[in-house]
Structure 1
Amino acid sequence: MTITTIGFDADDTLWHNEVFFKGTQARFAALLADHADPDHLMDRLLAAERRNLGHYGFGIKGFTLSMIETAIEVTEGRVPATVIAEILADGREMLRHPVDLMPGVADCVETLAADFTLVLITKGDLLDQERKLAESGLGEMFDGIEIVSDKTPSTYAQAFDVHGEGAHRSLMVGNSMKSDVVPAIDAGAWGVFCPSEHEWELERAKEPADHPRYRRIVTLADLPPLLATL
């Protein structure tokens, strides 16, 4: 089947994102250095993020709330208000971070927009994702925008039905095996893994290496040549 529609993830596929989370985590560890060693603190924070996903969803606001919850836990309720204020300030700063495109993104998207229907499929804070897309300069190249609460096979099936000719004639590319690749393949689409330097542990999944609709590239610059082979 000819591919007519290409779905793109946003964070750490089109632009840098996880690096800002890593920097905030380092500052968080410094704030609570008297209460927990960094490794233990990061384990507690990850556990809080995991159990809070169903309440807060993905994105910076949920991450900030999980940091506050972790700070309360590791200090047994004695965390100073000044520390909470600094955590909140770090969260607001993350919501203002600049948009820095990944290598080869602008050329790749512009090239593919001439021949394919392009759909941005991303999850996270609605306002934050809309801001980053606007500042990226890429928005006009996409035929559809889907900002979703989670990425499941049904998410992709619906998105590719609405914006394309169905999942079987679509391809999804992203840096998350768990969110961008595996559920897209399960929906019937192609899944292309484009790993980023920084990976969030909760986005890891087993690589479907033997699946006929799975491919792996190094950067988005490799996507147009790959499409010519499919």
Structure 2
Amino acid sequence: MDEEQSVLRWGGLAGIVGGILLVAVFVIVGVFVGPDPAEPEGLVMRFPDVRAAHIVEEVLYLGVLALWAIHLLALYRALRATSLAPALFGSALGIMGLGVLAAGALPQVARTPISDLYHAPGASPEDQATLVLLWQATQGIFDALLVVGLLLVPIGVIALGVAMLGAPAFGKGFGWMSLVVGVLGVAAGVVLLIDPVSPIAIVSILSLIVFHIALGWKVYSLSRA
């Protein structure tokens, strides 16, 4: 029993801390990076100036995803006794989605060599134009990972919401909240499939922050019951 309570306690805290850290990531981006330039070339040109901020942002973001994976495992542990199938499938899909997001969490690894070549003293305008295209192609890969992750995670949240509806410890409120968060996330993901540059991704991300903080607190409270 003590080990089970420990899983719930640390899993709940992981969800809460992950949500708070992601808010901090948005603050870092807003303060130290700012809005993206209108032209793709501007992204490459200013990269050395914002590289340090991006590194901090991306490391924190990767940490958020790891913490949320721990939280989903704790949710599965809390729900499996009353709703095994949706709890198992929901946590599996959610962790799969987080894994896809984690695969695209460190774009600096790909961007840095491109930026170094672009800013090299001997780079010609033709070379720089080619590197801008390469930058865009690379960004497209990371965008694809983001869209897939933002589709899989909300589907997992929907399944977890179904599990919560059958779990007296969570109640209908958390179950329906999870269903709403999941549906909003899936809808945002579908829009991103149609229009990858749509800002609607923020809807999915904010809803996931709410989900993990609220359910993190709930799971943590169960560890103290």
TM-score (norm 1): 0.33
Larger radius of gyration: 2
Report the structure, 1 or 2, having the larger helix content.
2
Higher relative contact order, chain-length normalized (CA < 8 Å, sep 6+): 2
Report the structure, 1 or 2, having the larger strand content.
1
